[in-house]
């Protein structure tokens, strides 16, 4: 189960991230949501490390089912070719603030559809509902379906 709040941001936080990662993701299906992702760590002791993941997500806003498994680079590349559309590019950064991990991304940087958002995962809905974004200029879009990445994919890749 994933419990997550999502925020539209005017910009990335002005603090040093604990991780800087380059992400590419594409959708096999948006209903049900089935996607592939590649992660490459750009800083720190794991710099250059890459992971490839297949994710299936259920419906929901604050809480929803999520199943993930690691896949090979070869499988990722085959599926990306099968999808046949440019993958979403994310400049992704992780920050730790007050024992919360903030995951912030600039989506499709340098394009007309570029935007910035942040997510925070929680262990309970109660903790999620109490959380306040620690920086100015954020709008809670947890329940706004237009900011789900599968819907962004549908708007920009069809």
Residue 56 to residue 19: CA distance in whole angstroms: 24
pLDDT confidence of residue 22: 98
* Element holding 102 (H helix, E strand): strand 100-107
Give Cβ neighbours of residue 35 (< 8 Å, ≥ 6 apart): 25, 26, 27, 28, 54, 55, 57, 149, 150
pLDDT confidence of residue 3: 94
Residues of the chain where predicted confidence (pLDDT) is lower than 70: none
Q: Coil, strand or helix: which one is 145?
A: helix
In the chain, what are the helix, strand and coil shares in percent, each to the nearest 5? 20, 45, 35
Question: Which DSSP category does 75 fall into?
Answer: H
pLDDT confidence of residue 44: 87
DSSP 83-100: H-SPPEEEEEEEEEETTE
- Record the pTM: 0.93
**pLDDT tens column, 107-151:** 999 999 999 999 999 999 999 999 999 999 999 999 999 999 999
């Amino acid at each position: 189960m994933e419990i997550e709040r999502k925020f539209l941001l005017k910009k990335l936080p002005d603090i040093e991230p604990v991780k800087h990662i380059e992400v590419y993701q594409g959708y096999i299906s948006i209903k049900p949501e089935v996607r592939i992702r590649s992660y490459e760590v750009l800083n720190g002791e794991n710099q250059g490390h890459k992971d490839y993941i297949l994710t299936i997500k259920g419906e929901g806003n604050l809480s929803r089912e999520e199943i993930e498994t690691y896949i090979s680079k070869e499988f990722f590349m085959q599926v990306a070719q099968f999808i046949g559309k440019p993958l979403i590019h994310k400049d992704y950064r992780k920050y730790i603030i007050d024992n919360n991990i903030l995951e912030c991304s600039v989506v499709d940087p340098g394009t007309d559809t570029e935007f910035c958002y942040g997510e925070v995962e929680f262990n309970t809905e109660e903790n999620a509902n109490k959380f306040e974004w620690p920086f100015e200029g954020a709008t809670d879009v947890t329940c706004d379906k237009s900011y789900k990445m599968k819907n962004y994919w549908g708007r920009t890749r069809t």
